[in-house]
Amino acid sequence: MNRHDFVSGLFWLAIAIFVFAKALELGVGAFSNPAAGFVLFWSSIFLGVLSIIVIAKSVVKGQGKHLVELWTGIQWGNVLIAVIILILYSLVLPRLGFVFTVFGFLLALFMLGGIRLWVAATSAIITVAASYLLFHTALQVQLPRGPFGW
């Protein structure tokens, strides 16, 4: 039951059931007059059937790796920290603006990669300046402003 195909199959079955319910809410219509939920309805049925096949294969044949094996012997902590940094970036960006948020983002990621603090800080400053010049000044991309106007 802890095999990765069993878990993923259950997940997709849940998605299929959810979309099936939403399709019924929207209305499926008839073949002669399909409604807004028509493609969603049939897609969810097919996805549900296929996810049951994946679950069945996992249970009957014992197919798939154990969940623990997927994250054994690798630096999964780096991935988790990187995701947290990405989420924090998106939450902080509208408040602090591009310059400060990107500086913090790059500093955190460079240090995650094992770069020393002063090298990471210097590299982050150079990258922030270069990307600001490239995207905001040269390419006229509207970047969010912080409390100091940039």
Partner 1 sequence: METLQSLWYGFSIALQPENLFFCFVGSVLGTLVGVLPGIGPVGAIAILLPITFKLSTTGAIIMLAGLYYGAMYGGSTTSILVNIPGEAAAVVTCMDGYQMALKGRAGPALGMAAFGSFIAGTLGIVGLMLFARPLSQFALKFGPHEYFSLIILGLTFVTYLSHGSMVKAVMMCFFGLMLSNVGLDPITSSPRITFGILELFDGIGIAPVAMGLFGVGEVLVNLEKTISTQIVKTKIRNLFPSKLDWFQSRWALVRGTLIGFFLGILPGGGPVLASFLSYGVEKRFSKEPEKFGTGAIEGVAAPESANNAAASSSFIPLLTLGIPPNVSLSILFGAFLIHGITPGPFLLKDHPDVFWGVLSSMYVGNVMLLVLNLPLIPMWVQVLKVPDRFLYPLILLFCLIGAYSMNNSVFDVYIMIIFGIIGYLFRKFQYEGAPLVLAFVLGPLLDLNLRQALLVSEGSFLDFFTRPISAVTLGLALLLLLTSVFPFVMKRVQKYREATEDEQV
Q: Which residues bind partner 1 (CB under 8 A)?
A: 4-5, 7-8, 12, 15, 19, 22, 26, 30-40, 43-44, 46-47, 50-51, 53-54, 70-71, 74-76, 78-79, 82-83, 86-87, 89-90, 93-94, 102, 105-106, 109-110, 112-115, 123, 127, 131, 135, 139-144
Report residue 91 as tokens.
């939450």
Three-state DSSP class for 141?
A: coil
In the complex with partner 1, which residue's Cβ is closer, 132 or 148? 132
Residues 41, 145: Cα–Cα separation, whole Å:
43
State how far the Cα of 97 lies from the Cα of 30, in Å rounded to an integer. 51
- What is the smallest separation between the CB atom of 131 and partner 1, expressed in angstroms? 7
Smallest gap from residue 148 Cβ to partner 1 (A):
19
Integer Cα distance of 149 and 20 in angstroms = 47
CB of 34 to partner 1, least distance (A): 5
The count of other CB atoms within 10 Å of the CB of residue 26 is: 14
Alpha carbon distance 102, 96 (integer Å): 10
Nearer to partner 1 by Cβ, of 2 and 75: the residue is: 75
What's 83's DSSP letter?
H
38/100 with CB nearer partner 1: 38
Nearest approach in angstroms of CB 12 to partner 1 is 6
